[in-house]
Amino acid sequence: MKMSTATEERIQLVDPRQAYARPPFKDQEAMKMPGSTEKMKPRPDHGEESYEGSGKLKGLTALITGADSGIGRAIAICYAREGANIAINYLSEDTDAKQTAEVAKQAGVDVSVIRGDLREESFCNELVEQTRQEHGAIDILVNNAAYQETGNDVDEFSTELFDRIFKTNVYAPFWLSRAVMKHLPPGGSIINTVSIQGYDPSPYLLPYASTKSAMLGMTKGLAKLAMDHGVRVNAVAPGPVWTPLIPGSMPKEKFEEFGADNLFGRPAQPIELAPLYVWLASPDASYVTGEVFGCTGGRTPV
């Protein structure tokens, strides 16, 4: 019996436990926050070679914070290949931001790169306005940038550090969301990156985990206000993801076995999360708002 064409073209399935690198991760160069993609071993996969778009975001404009590396870079690449124009915001890693922009531009879309510190309210307002002016519109805001440091005792978390983490992880998404609501059209989206830490906090990440709990509440509350404008607000809650944030902020004994404590026995790669952000920004998710989508390797329902 002759097999059908559909069967002959069957995609190749891969065991998700073996799809990407597994710990231990021993050979990392010492780095400080926000970290560097170039120094990571293995290098994270942002979909540079694998992701193929299909026009889901054609002609739209997206502002993505923390888009120089990690999840933000993967989102930028996927959005560009889906036809969206991209504004890349980042703090200080010029090399990483340039690389993200180069890959995104290969999709034939307009790409702007805007460096600046989200802890400043005035910069957040300027970032939204610059994006709108350079691209003519703004349809999607992805609040992805975050900062973290670890500590073994509550006394190790100074007020200055607590303030820095909250300014980056909570205040900035609020300032940006408030500013962008004046420009988002009905059907536009705000998408927040939260975390498993918002549900199952690790004590050594106390300030960071606290901000992610706050962002869960902000996502659900803002969704109710934003729908008065026809704008949807959702969030993605990652578990462990292999990004520069990890060796940049964690001691060696923690990142060596990073991601080993879930059903997959490994951390996610950024490209494994980015398609969620594509779907949430697209008209395919037109009846979805106030939701949080977990991508945690089976660690917890969110």
208 is catalytic: yes
Cβ within 8 Å of residue 106, ≥6 positions away = 80
Spatial contact of 227 and 213, defined as CB atoms under 8 Å apart: no
Secondary structure (3-state) at 235: strand
Phi-psi region of 49 (alpha: psi -120 to 50; beta: other; left: phi over 0): alpha
Residue 286, CA atoms < 13 Å, CB-side half-sphere: 5
Q: Which of 299, 294, 280 is nearest to 223 (CA)?
A: 280
How many angstroms from the chain centroid is the CA of residue 104?
Answer: 16
What order of strands is seen across the sheet that includes strand 189-193?
Answer: 111-115, 85-90, 61-64, 140-143, 189-193, 232-238, 292-295
Q: Which of 79, 208, 277, 287 is catalytic?
A: 208
Q: φ, ψ for residue 8 (rounded to 5)?
A: -65, -30
Spatial contact of 48 and 272, defined as CB atoms under 8 Å apart: no
- Whole-angstrom Cα distance, residue 124 to residue 122? 5
The helix (H) or strand (E) run that includes residue 294 is strand 292-295
> In which residue are the tokens 């994006």 written?
131
Eight-state DSSP code of residue 257: T
Cβ within 8 Å of residue 235, ≥6 positions away = 191, 192, 193, 194, 215, 216, 219, 291, 292, 293
Cβ within 8 Å of residue 153, ≥6 positions away = none
Catalytic residue positions, numbered: 208
